[in-house]
Structure 1
Amino acid sequence: MRYARNCRTDIFILILSLLLSISSLQAGKPAKIKFTIGKSELLPGGKTSWQKVRMGMPVQQGDRLRTALNARIELEMPDGSVLKINENTVFDVKELKTQEEDKEDRMSFTLWAGNLWASFKKVISGRQTREIESPSAVVAIRGTIIDMDVAGDATTTVRVVEGKVAVKSKDAGGEVIVKSNQQTVVRKGKNPTPPKPTAKTSSAQPAGDLVFEVRTPKLQFTDPAVLAAGIPLEGKANPGARVEANGTPMTVSPDGRFRGRVKAQEGLNTIRVSVDWNNNRQTKTVRVFVNTKKPEVQISRPVTARFVNRRDYSLSGAVFDPTPMDKVKVYINDELVAEVSGRGSFNRTIILKEGKNNIVLRAVDRSGNVTEKAEQIFLDTVKPIVTITQPAQEVVTRFEPPLPPDRARDFATERFNQVVRGIIIDPEPSSKIKRFGINGKEIRPNSDGTFEAIINLRRGENRLSVFAEDVAGNIYRDDSRKILVR
């Protein structure tokens, strides 16, 4: 009976281990939120509660992302591919498998609504799969830069900036190959339209067929050079079109490509890019975050007290970030202790070990700018040790005969000199001696710790009161020694 129960238990543990192993394999290596601005949320696979998207947040297969008005997300794949999810977009990560983690190399996504710009690493093997679905189309990718829109009626527009993709309808069949600078449109239940240039080079281009694409190489900049040079913009419009960004004309080449720079400022930069061609006007908004300034950190403790004698040490200070709308995370020895918006304070009690303690404080803003301060604090809980070598005994009696009558004086005013010798040491971790004295008389020991002092005695009982304090604040006291003068 017991054997049967043990077998059932072993089988259960084996099955549970296999399930956990399968689950860990399915999780795979995650994607990562590289940048976010505005209101964006993530719905983990199998969950019902949305989470706020944060910089550095992992994104697993099965997760869903959505962006609100004026929000954008930059998502970095495990292989380094980059996806930029624009405002009012709903996007699913269906599969995320890597050769290292899963022995497969598959990535598939669903763009339910909105706009997506993606730059995929080149596919070099037939075993690698990159695919984006929409309600009306399936796009097979082989190392491409594409721009993809899904309208409210599920109409999907696929524009290829570089490379090529295969686009087919989910319902009607039919497949087209879309190459660089081409686009196709897939309507629900219809075949993809034949690929056509995204920018016409012929003067016979029909009126109303406006082409307008805007790109910026980054959603955020941390290099201070951008403040002087401006934010770079590039894109595509119809040949002969006039393009402006925040009122600054862009240079448009004969094939309709345009580029230029727009004045930058710290914080959020809202850039309105407009095109005017054949009395057709359109405006798109690009939002770029510029953050070139590192957080500023001021430590209120320690200021000068590098030696302490208590294990619990309170480290406090203030942090300030001059960039508008920025947030700063404060770490002490890699432990997150505070997260502040713009300006705030922090305090953390650290448990010290005896001897040297290295404390590293890092302040990191959401753009990755880092300010680091390193401090060394020494914990010294050991008192100084004082050894009296002369007089050697704890109780010493001195006989001092009275003075001759012609030199006699009141016993209360009689004084006798006593030489006191010894050695003082401050054991490791030594913070060095701060104060040392006998009977209130300050004594300066020699470099080897030995000392010699002359103190005054009077008739009767004289106590030796020895006091020593090290820099850390540890105190030695001894009042046990007596010298009797008879």
Structure 2
Amino acid sequence: MAAPSSRRRQVPFLVGLVLILAALPVGWFVFLRELPPPTPPPAPVPTVAAAEAKKAVELELSDIEGLVEVRHGVAGAWAPATKGMALRATDVVRTGDGAYAVLVNGEAVEVRMASGTEVSVEELTDSLSRLLLANGMATTTVRSGQRHTFELTTGSEVVARTGGGTFTMTNNGKGTVSVGTRDGEVALLGNGKVVIVRAGQQSIVRPGKEPTEPAPVPGSLLLKVAWPGDKALRQHELVVTGKTDPGNRVEVEGVVVHADNEGRFERKVVLPEGPSAVKVRAMGVGGLVGEEKRDVVVDTKPPKVRLTPEAIWKTTTKGVTTTGAPP
């Protein structure tokens, strides 16, 4: 009878032992296990500064000579330009007689303005430059490989466009526009028609007309001046008239004269007393230059009259010359 009693006493012991052994892992996990380091708080998100506005594309006056003026904005006043000045959309540049200016848009575009020329900036982006030639002559070089398009317009329906090359455009301010290409090719749009003006060619757009078919630049330039018949002038003013090819640029004594749609021009020149040399110069978009010069003498002084007593009383009657004294 003792054995069963002993086994009954062993059962609680075994159960307790099993419970203790089962609790050991739990106790180790709860009390003895090295706790991982606390998770650091999330790093503060850096405040992102507002992105700077993208710098506006600008033209630069890289070179100027003589009287060059700039007007900033439509309501701005004309002021002397300075080398390195930046130009943006709506700015206007003009050159005086005997002056010139060079505009650049980075490495992509260079525009050379001749004297007596006015250009306004219409649009500037990384991929497009659009300028307006109000009057005068401008030569543009667009470097290939820059993925840049250049447009030169006259404010009407005439637009010259190129992605690479060199061309010259003139505008007489009265609707006659001429384009000559020296390198590459230019798409010339006028009154709904587009022609491609390639290197060595030129085309003319007259008021209300389509561009002429591109033709080779002529080997000579027309310039005829109607000089006075007598080189001796009795007044200080001389009206110089003449004719050249339509679209050519004309200078009379260094002053730009805008020829009409047929190439006729006229300018009144004021000359000093004594000898003068009057020069007339014409330039075409193909690079041709013509010049005429005339030497004149202005003498407005009355002729000297020399009288003697004998000459005063000398008379001629019926072909007989007699000399007498006063009564």
CA deviation profile, 1:267-315 (whole Å, cap 9, x unmatched) = xxxxx9979xxxx98239xxxxxxxxxxxxxxxxxxxxxxxxxxxxxxx
Distance 1:135 1:211, change over 3 A: farther
Structure 1 residue 199, shift from structure 2 partner? 3.3
Q: Secondary structure of 2:208's match?
A: coil
**Are residue 74 (structure 1) and residue 102 (structure 2) matched?**
yes
**Match for residue 136 of structure 2 among 110, 114, 126:** 114
Contact 1:173 1:191 in 2 (8 A): yes
**Are residue 210 (structure 1) and residue 221 (structure 2) matched?**
yes
**Are residue 89 (structure 1) and residue 111 (structure 2) matched?**
no
Cα distance in 1, alignment partners of residues 61 and 221 from structure 2:
33
CA deviation profile, 1:87-119 (whole Å, cap 9, x unmatched) = 111101111111xxxxxx111111010000111
Contact 1:135 1:188 in 2 (8 A): no
User: What does 1:21-32 align with in structure 2 at a 5 Å threshold?
Assistant: 25=54, 28-32=56-60
Contact 1:199 1:211 in 2 (8 A): no
State the aligned residue count. 183
**Are residue 197 (structure 1) and residue 216 (structure 2) matched?**
yes
CA deviation profile, 1:174-197 (whole Å, cap 9, x unmatched) = 110000000000112110000000
Contact 1:113 1:154 in 2 (8 A): no
**Match for residue 183 of structure 1 among 202, 207, 215:** 202
Higher relative contact order (CA 8 A, sep 6+): 2
State the partner residue of 1:52: 80
User: What does 1:272-283 align with in structure 2 at a 5 Å threshold?
Assistant: 282-283=290-291
Distance 1:106 1:43, change over 3 A: same
Q: Which amino acid aligns with 2:129?
A: M
CA deviation profile, 1:217-264 (whole Å, cap 9, x unmatched) = xxxxxxxxxxxxxxxxxxxxxxxxxxxxxxxxxxxxxxxxxxxxxxxx
User: RMSD over aligned Cα, in angstroms?
Assistant: 3.0
Structure 1 residue 144, shift from structure 2 partner? 1.1
Cα distance in 2, alignment partners of residues 130 and 196 from structure 1:
23
Distance 1:85 1:95, change over 3 A: same
**Are residue 138 (structure 1) and residue 149 (structure 2) matched?**
no
List structure 1 segments (4+ residues) > 6 angstroms apart after TM superposition. 272-275
Distance 1:30 1:192, change over 3 A: same
State the partner residue of 1:227: none
Contact 1:138 1:168 in 2 (8 A): yes
Q: Which amino acid aligns with 2:197?
A: V
Distance 1:281 1:164, change over 3 A: closer
**Match for residue 160 of structure 1 among 175, 181, 189:** 181
Q: Which amino acid aligns with 2:199?
A: S
User: What does 1:26-425 align with in structure 2 at a 5 Å threshold?
Assistant: 28-98=56-126, 105-122=127-144, 125=147, 128-136=148-156, 137-169=158-190, 172-200=191-219, 210=221, 282-283=290-291
Contact 1:91 1:111 in 2 (8 A): yes
CA deviation profile, 1:446-472 (whole Å, cap 9, x unmatched) = xxxxxxxxxxxxxxxxxxxxxxxxxxx
Structure number with the higher strand fraction is: 1
Structure 1 residue 122, shift from structure 2 partner? 1.3
Q: Which amino acid aligns with 1:182?
A: Q
Cα distance in 2, alignment partners of residues 41 and 194 from structure 1:
36
CA deviation profile, 1:52-85 (whole Å, cap 9, x unmatched) = 1111111112211111111100111123421111
Distance 1:281 1:38, change over 3 A: closer
CA deviation profile, 1:337-390 (whole Å, cap 9, x unmatched) = xxxxxxxxxxxxxxxxxxxxxxxxxxxxxxxxxxxxxxxxxxxxxxxxxxxxxx
Contact 2:114 2:138 in 1 (8 A): yes
Cα distance in 2, alignment partners of residues 281 and 61 from structure 1:
33
Question: Which has the larger Rg?
Answer: 2
Percentage identity across aligned positions? 25
Cα distance in 1, alignment partners of residues 180 and 153 from structure 2:
14
Q: Secondary structure of 1:163's match?
A: strand
